């Protein structure tokens, strides 16, 4: 990436101002949900044309997905491990009874920000940050938490407010 391109895109990774987050929260509460559901796929695509997860990885560094049983079966098989050994080595149970990674950053995140199990990663990772699905406006507390650190959510948020 050239330095000019970096200069043009690095602001995308800035943390949003509290006032902007408040504005967005109010927007989500009163928005016509059928209208934004139609707008989200294009805005999601536009955000990820500008934002490269390999330049970010904030989700993988600071949070864990849930590892549901189908995820555990798929990933342990890919790694050639027994499911119980995989659980013992990598996972712990959170207060809601879901398996999550024992460590942060995620143990499958490489130094280059690439995921070593990308094609087999948990469904939560595949869906994150929910910018192309109805979770985006149905689970407002989750979206607001994600908006604090995920540049893609921030970008979609700004585009929706500007419409
Ligand atoms: S926080 Fe958002 S932009 Fe950053 S790596 Fe995760 S999904 Fe991609
Ligand atoms: S499994 Fe892969 S995509 Fe999911 S949090 Fe870990 S490194 Fe990130």
| Gap between the Cα atoms of 86 and 67, Å rounded | 11
Q: Is 0.85 surpassed by the pTM of this model? A: yes
Residues 6+ apart with CB under 8 A from 143: 28, 130, 135, 136, 137, 153
In this predicted model, what pLDDT tens digit does every residue of 75-105 receive, in sequence order? 999 999 999 999 999 999 999 999 999 999 9
Centre of ligand 1 from the C-alpha of residue 48, in Å: 9
In this predicted model, what pLDDT tens digit does every residue of 13-34 receive, in sequence order? 888 899 999 999 999 999 899 9
What residues line ligand 2, using a CB cutoff of 6 Å? 60, 65, 106, 108-109, 115, 117, 121-122, 125
The pLDDT of residue 8: 67
Which residue's CA is minimally distant from atom 1 of ligand 2? 121
Peptide bond into 129 cis (omega under 30): yes
Task: Quickly state the pLDDT bin for 2 (edges 50, 70, 90).
Answer: very low
């Amino acid at each position: 990436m050239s330095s000019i391109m970096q200069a043009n895109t690095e602001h995308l990774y800035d943390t949003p101002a509290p006032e902007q987050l408040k504005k967005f929260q109010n927007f989500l509460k009163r928005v016509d949900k059928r209208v934004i559901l139609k707008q989200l796929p294009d805005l999601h695509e536009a955000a990820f044309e500008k934002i490269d997860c390999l330049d970010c990885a904030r989700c993988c560094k600071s949070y864990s997905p849930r590892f549901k049983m189908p995820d555990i079966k798929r990933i342990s098989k890919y790694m050639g491990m027994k499911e119980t050994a995989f659980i013992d080595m990598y996972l712990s149970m959170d207060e809601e009874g879901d398996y999550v990674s024992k460590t942060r950053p995620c143990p499958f995140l490489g130094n280059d920000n690439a995921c070593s199990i990308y094609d087999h990663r948990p469904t939560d990772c595949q869906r994150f940050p929910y910018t192309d699905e109805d979770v985006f406006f149905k689970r407002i507390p989750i979206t607001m938490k994600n908006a604090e650190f995920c540049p893609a959510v921030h970008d979609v948020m700004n585009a929706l407010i500007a419409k």
